[in-house]
Amino acid sequence: MLNGIEPLTSGPMAPACPPIADTQAEQMLDTRYRGLTLSSHFQPIFSIAHGRAVGYEGLIRAQHDDGSAESPAALLAIPSNSKECLELDRTCRTLHVHNFARQATGQAWLFLNLNSQYLVSERPDIGFTQDLLEASGIAAHRLVIEIIESEVSDQAQLKRFIAHFRKLGCLIAIDDFGAGHSNFDRIWDLEPDIVKIDRRLIQDAGRSRRVERILTGIVSLLHEAGSLVVIEGVESEHEALVAIAANADMVQGFYFAKPQMHIDAAQGLPATFDRLLRGQQWNSAKRRADLQHYLRTIEGVFQQAVADFAGGRQFERSCGHLFSDPRTVRCYLLDEAGYQVSPNVYAPHYQQRLNPRFAPLLSGDNANWSHKHYHYRALKQPGVIQISRPYLSVADSRLCITVSQTVKVLGRLHVFCCDLDWQDE
């Protein structure tokens, strides 16, 4: 019986049979619910480094008797109260676990969505999952419980359920992070093993370099918190490359594989991931080449400005040649300790673009930039022109890159800096 709902297929839901090579020959279980036939589909979750599926997310599929499909959203809208919602939730989980157990899946994880909102509101018997694992023969460490953290207001109760699943040996995943009211406070508090990033974020990152940088920052923060990262909803090669560039650990989406009833444990995409990794390396090399090209067009003028200053010309006058380039924003001079020892000298064409809202930050007098890469890299390689990656300038809250070089004047070492406007969209 499936949570009191009779399966259509014959035979009890006993522990899994020994692995069978031909999983297509293994009959999958389904069940009836409110006039619908429910069945399991599984979508692979691929490790980028391994180039193969390391887990599968269980997804419910519903059909009418005439064979037409009912959408998952419509199915989940059928229950009229939280108790009925919990019953449907358990039915889906039971179906997925037993169908997963009937297939040859190696050591792969099974990702199960758990509606934590109903768990908290109904205070159900928390022995359900343990009984389900024992009945199916699936080891607890192969079960990843997916929770949408933003839908639960009772944080204390949610933490008690998470503690219970961890005690069983299950992994915990936060699903749809980046959607709704997701926040990092709950990540620090819940300490999930895995975080799945909402698909809308990869879609937006695929269209905007700004969002791409935000995604990379989110992944980095989640890694610092001790969580592995899955990027969901990858539907194109470009989005796959963005996910790899963001340093995600795993990816899931139609670009790699659609949900299927039968799992092919031998399925791997090493050639696809090799090609993607080569593509990402090419993209990184191209971006470095773009920066170098950006530098080459102004390198001669910059070297002349540095030479003029080293030869005794006043700093402000030395900057004059640089201002002939429309990309030049400002020049400034740092001492060896990183303190700014000159005012910001702005290009005349940029003066009119200064935003008075950032007036408190526009003056660099006595500011210390020793923590910036353009300062310490210049000191590390005296006399060699350095070019930074694009970054947000605190001076006017705009993206820029900084060209810098050490120069010795009257026996004292300085770092000559020039900021260039950067438009990467």
Give residue-wise pLDDT tens across range 216-268.
Answer: 999 999 999 999 999 999 999 999 999 999 999 999 999 999 999 999 877 77
pLDDT of residue 415: 97
Q: Give residue-wise pLDDT tens across range 142-172.
A: 999 998 866 667 778 888 888 889 999 999 9
For the entire predicted model, the pTM comes to: 0.82
Domain at 290-421, CATH from 3.40.50.2000, 2.70.210.12, 3.40.50.970, 3.30.450.20: 3.30.450.20
pLDDT of residue 150: 63
Q: 10 Å Cβ neighbour count for 278? A: 10
Q: Give residue-wise pLDDT tens across range 21-70.
A: 333 445 889 999 999 999 999 999 999 999 999 999 999 999 999 999 99
Question: Measured over all CA atoms, what is the biggest interatomic distance in the chain, rounded to whole angstroms?
Answer: 93
CA distance 96 to 91: 9
pLDDT of residue 425: 52
The first and second tokens of residue 104, run together, are 């040859």
CA distance 359 to 275: 48
The first and second tokens of residue 161, run together, are 């359920």
- Can you tell me whether residue 140 is helix, strand or coil? helix
| pLDDT: which is higher, 280 or 397 | 280
Cβ pair 171, 136 in contact under 8 A: no
Contacts with 93 (C-beta within 8 Å, 6 or more apart), sequence order: 58, 112, 114, 129, 132
Cβ pair 108, 264 in contact under 8 A: no
The first and second tokens of residue 409, run together, are 């004047």
Q: Give residue-wise pLDDT tens across range 290-325.
A: 777 777 878 899 999 999 999 999 999 999 989 988
Please give the radius of gyration of the chain, using alpha carbons only, rounded to the nearest integer: 29
Q: 10 Å Cβ neighbour count for 277? A: 15
Least confident segment among 14-23, 165-174, 368-377:
14-23
What value, to the nearest 5°, has the Cα angle with vertex 372 and ends 409 and 355?
A: 95
The DSSP 8-state label assigned to residue 224 in this structure reads H
Closest CA to 37 of 72, 75, 65: 65
Contacts with 121 (C-beta within 8 Å, 6 or more apart), sequence order: 82
Cβ pair 209, 245 in contact under 8 A: no
Share of residues in the chain with pLDDT > 90 (%): 60
pLDDT of residue 151: 65
CA distance 119 to 294: 56
Calculate mean pLDDT across residues 279-287.
87
Cβ pair 43, 97 in contact under 8 A: no
**Burial environment of residue 133 by CB neighbours within 10 A (0 to 12, 13 to 18, 19 or more):** buried
Calculate mean pLDDT across residues 104-117.
89
pLDDT of residue 16: 33
Q: Where in the chain is the domain with CATH 3.30.450.20?
A: 290-421
Q: Where in the chain is the domain with CATH 3.20.20.450?
A: 23-268
Q: Which residue has the tokens 């060209």?
A: 403
Calculate mean pLDDT across residues 188-210.
93
pLDDT of residue 256: 95
pLDDT of residue 24: 41
The first and second tokens of residue 425, run together, are 């969209």
Q: Is the pLDDT of residue 124 over 70?
A: no
CA distance 311 to 410: 10
pLDDT of residue 125: 65
Least confident segment among 5-14, 168-177, 351-360, 402-411:
5-14
Closest CA to 186 of 158, 149, 223, 225: 149
State the CATH class of domain 23-268. Answer: alpha beta
